[in-house]
Each structure stands twice: as structure tokens, then as C-alpha cells.
Amino acid sequence: MDLKNITVKELRTKLDNKEISAAEAASEFFAEIKKNDGKVLSYITVTEDEAKKNAEAAQKRIDAGNPAPLTGIPLAIKDNLCTDGIRTTCSSKMLGDFVPPYNATAIEKLNEQDYVILGKVSMDEFAMGGSTQTSAFAKTKNPYDTERVPGGSSGGSAAAVAAGFCAAALGSDTGGSIRQPSSFCGVTGLKPTYGRVSRYGLVAFASSLDQIGPIARTAEDCGIILNAIAGVDPKDATSKNVSFSDFNEKLGQSVSGMKIAIPKEFYGDAVDEEVRTAVTNAAHEYEKMGAKLVDCSISTLKYAVQAYYLISSAEAASNLSRYDGIKYGLRGEGHSFDEMIRDSRNRGFGAEVKRRILLGNYALSSGYYDAYYRKALALKQKIIEEYNAVFENADVILTPTAPSVAYKIGVQDNDPVKMYTADICTVTVNIAGLPAINTTCGYDKDGMPIGMSIVGRRFDEATIIQTADAFERTFSPVRCTL
């Protein structure tokens, strides 16, 4: 049975109807991984033995007639989510042999539903990058064109879903790291509201921005997974006790009368014409459904990338200071304590991680804290205020997810500033702590996917899932073939 393009919902039906067993479903995906992942390099660790145990437990639950929505569903997990007894590397030599003694809360919630773990997928090192080319172990390629990047930092997750190496995946999003690779790889990715999903067990990049979320083939599948992993957690003080029933409760409801904001700054010259045209055409499709387009402005966008990289790099410098090779991590050499730590960090961290640690420490240093970091925090409040003002007159906001389609591998290797500015369409959502979902809205002349981003009010994931689903029902995606 070919499961390459199956949705979570479709696979749930087949499992429950005994058309396929949980073990057989996992075996199908493992066969596809063995056959084609050598071309894509999405997985770092493949967990066949663990999956076999998971599938046995899932099948017992299915046979007993009480499956949960994700029981027996084979998923891939981004390699910065701690998995008890399974290597978790963050795609870094620093953690190349690290095996956590506990699960992230999101993983515990998946375990409660008896999901099946296929393995840990690649990412930019410590989630720092937009291409998955900073990975120390698997520099993932785009399944639509293996000469192009899959995006990042959750590039392994998006590529694995697009290539049919899993039914869906978990990623994390700090400045667009779920949505941008989902755009590049032609899949759907949801970044929940900050605090909606516990960050406990997520290896921290920037603690005030990081959020775990799903990558799947449809908005509905993203809602199914978010239902499983969302909720307040006493282990994470930043998780919010905001009740929810079903994030898919609005599926199928008409968007007629919905107000969709179109911020002009997101459609400027920095966005490629083909991308701008595809997203604009999607906006007109919503108009045909009865939605109303509302012009608006988010003037702080021109400063957003600078603010994001100051805030995220400062928090990264603080978070990564724990990696000294003594408590855990790559153990350096040297004749003194300082020499050993320097050697550990020099060999353990890649160039991009070092660059951001240096930038973060510079921004936090005496004499520069007020000039840079404090101003970035002030701008964060201004961005929040502007989004609040837009939502006074709109239900959702529609923007391009990325200013271009996936670019060729190596094009931006020596130009980090160009790579950073490519985050212009996504970073404000993280700064403001809002939910957003990417879904495919077209393809360029070379057949590469173009994504659009639907941004919602805080804790209103149901509306952006409804809006994305409404478009997906009118759109016929072109799945990649390897």
C-alpha cells in the first residue's frame, strides 16, 4: 500500500478499518526511507526497534476499539526535542552522543496516544539557520529539487513530510522555522501561539520566541496533532492555561464575511514577483468565497529582522552558555579548565552558532545593552501594538511566507545577512507571540512550491486552520516525486 501522500486523517481511517496494521504502516514508511532518503538526507536517527514496540502497543489499543487520533500514526520528530533513550543531537557535534533520560512534554503527550516514532530528523544546528545546511550530520535537500535547500531550521521535518517519509512531523519555530521550510517543501506547517504548547524538553534557542508545532499535508492534520500536544504544563512556566476543545471545530465553515487583512509592507519589492502574484491570487480566491480584503499597514516590518536577531541571539548566547563539555556535550582538551572549555566549544559549535553567540554577547555587553538589546525589546512592544490594531478590523492576516521559493544549495553560504533578511515575512509573528499557518498557494515557473501565511489572534488557532483549510479545498497540490 502506497502511503507516500496519505494524510493523518486518511491513515486513521485505514488503521481503524483494519485495512492496514500499525506495524505495516510503519514498515511502509521505513521502506520509503531506505529507498529514497539517501537523496534527501532528512533523518539523522532512524528508530526501527522503537517503532516496532510503539506499533505493537498501538495495535492492541486499536484492536480493543479505543484508539486516540494519533494511535499508530508514524511521525518524525525534529532533533531538538528530547526523546527518552533516543539520541537527540540538535544537529550539532556538541550533542552528537547525547541521549536524554526524559521526554519532552510534547513527546509525552504523543506517547499517551500511542503514536509511532520513525526517527529524529535533521535541522539547522541548534535551530540557527534557514536552510538546514548548518547541520553537522545531515544537510537536508529539498524533495522537489535536490539541488535546492528545504528551508530551516525544521527542514528535515518538512522534507520528510513532503517526500513521504512520515505521515507528519513535529518541528519548532523561533522566527519562521516551521512555516518557511513548509513553504519551500510544499506542505502545511503550523506555528501555535506562544505558550500554547509546552517547551519543556525542547532544547532552547531563544526562550521567548521558541514554539513547538506540527508539519503535515493539510491544515486539518495540523489541527489533529495540535489537539494532542497543546495544553498548560507545570514544568513550563511560560505555557498558558487557555482552554480549548478542538482546533478543527471550524473546519468546513464558510469564510464568507471574514475580514482578511493585507499589510502592504509584506508585498513590496523584497518579495519575488511570482510569490507576490501567487499570494495575491489566493487573496482573490478568498474574495470569491465571500471574504472581505482589508488593506492595512505594519510599519515596523522594516525593523523586524534587526530586532529579531538581537533578541534571539542574546537569548541564544545565554542558553548555550551551559555547553562547556563538562556536565555533558563534547569534551574538549587542554591543560587548564579554560582551555578545555574553549576547545569544547570551538570543536562542538559550527560557524553559524558561533556567529550568533558572538552577536548575542555583544548586544548584552556593557555599553551596548541599552543601545541595542533594550531598543529591540521596545520595538517588540511596538510590533505587538501594531498587530493588535490590525486585528481590531480583521479576523486574520494574509502574507507571503517567504520572499522567494527555495534557493539553490550554497547560494547564501557566504552571505549570512542575506539569509537573515529572508526571514522578513515570518519573524514578526514570533516577536508578537501570534499563531500562524503556512499552506501552499502556487508554484513558480520551475515547479517549486510557493507558500502563504495566515496569521491569527493569540490563541485563535481554530480560525487560521479554518481559513487555510478553506483554501486547501479549492487547491490541487502537486506532490513531489523522487
φ, ψ dihedrals at 30, nearest 5° = -60, -40
Section 456-473 average pLDDT? 98
φ, ψ dihedrals at 107, nearest 5° = -70, -40
Question: Which grid cell is 359?
Answer: 552577536
Section 274-294 average pLDDT? 98
Section 400-404 average pLDDT? 98
d(C-alpha 103, C-alpha 255), whole Å: 39
d(C-alpha 256, C-alpha 393), whole Å: 16
In this prediction the pTM is 0.97
Number of neighbours of residue 340 by Cβ within 10 angstroms: 17
Query: How far is CA 412 from its chain centroid?
Result: 21
Domains (range + CATH), the chain? 1-482 (3.90.1300.10)
pLDDT for res 420: 84
Q: Which of 187-191, 282-286, 334-338, 380-384 has the lowest mean pLDDT?
A: 334-338
Q: Which tens digit of pLDDT belongs to each residue from 43-62?
A: 999 999 999 999 999 999 99
**Closest CA relative to residue 240, chosen from 474, 65, 459, 466:** 459
Q: Which tens digit of pLDDT belongs to each residue from 255-271?
A: 999 999 999 999 999 99
Task: Output the average pLDDT for the chain.
Answer: 96
pLDDT for res 128: 97
pLDDT for res 367: 86
pLDDT category at 416 given cuts 50, 70, 90 is: confident
pLDDT for res 412: 81
Q: Which tens digit of pLDDT belongs to each residue from 147-174?
A: 999 999 999 999 999 999 999 999 999 9
pLDDT for res 421: 82
Q: Which tens digit of pLDDT belongs to each residue from 107-140?
A: 999 999 999 999 999 999 999 999 999 999 999 9
pLDDT for res 30: 98
Beta pairing class for 436-443 and 116-121: unpaired
Percent residues over pLDDT 70 in the chain: 100
Number of neighbours of residue 2 by Cβ within 10 angstroms: 8
pLDDT at position 33 over 90: yes
pLDDT for res 223: 98
pLDDT category at 425 given cuts 50, 70, 90 is: very high
Q: Where in the sequence numbering do the catalytic residues fall?
A: 78, 153, 177
Strand partners, 438: 189, 453
Section 428-443 average pLDDT? 98
pLDDT for res 328: 82
pLDDT at position 415 over 80: no
pLDDT at position 227 over 80: yes
Percent residues over pLDDT 90 in the chain: 94
Question: Which grid cell is 348?
Answer: 562542538
Question: Which grid cell is 36?
Answer: 529514497
Q: Helices marked H in 41-178 — which ranges?
A: 48-63, 105-112, 155-163
pLDDT for res 341: 92
Strand partners, 398: 454
pLDDT at position 366 over 90: no
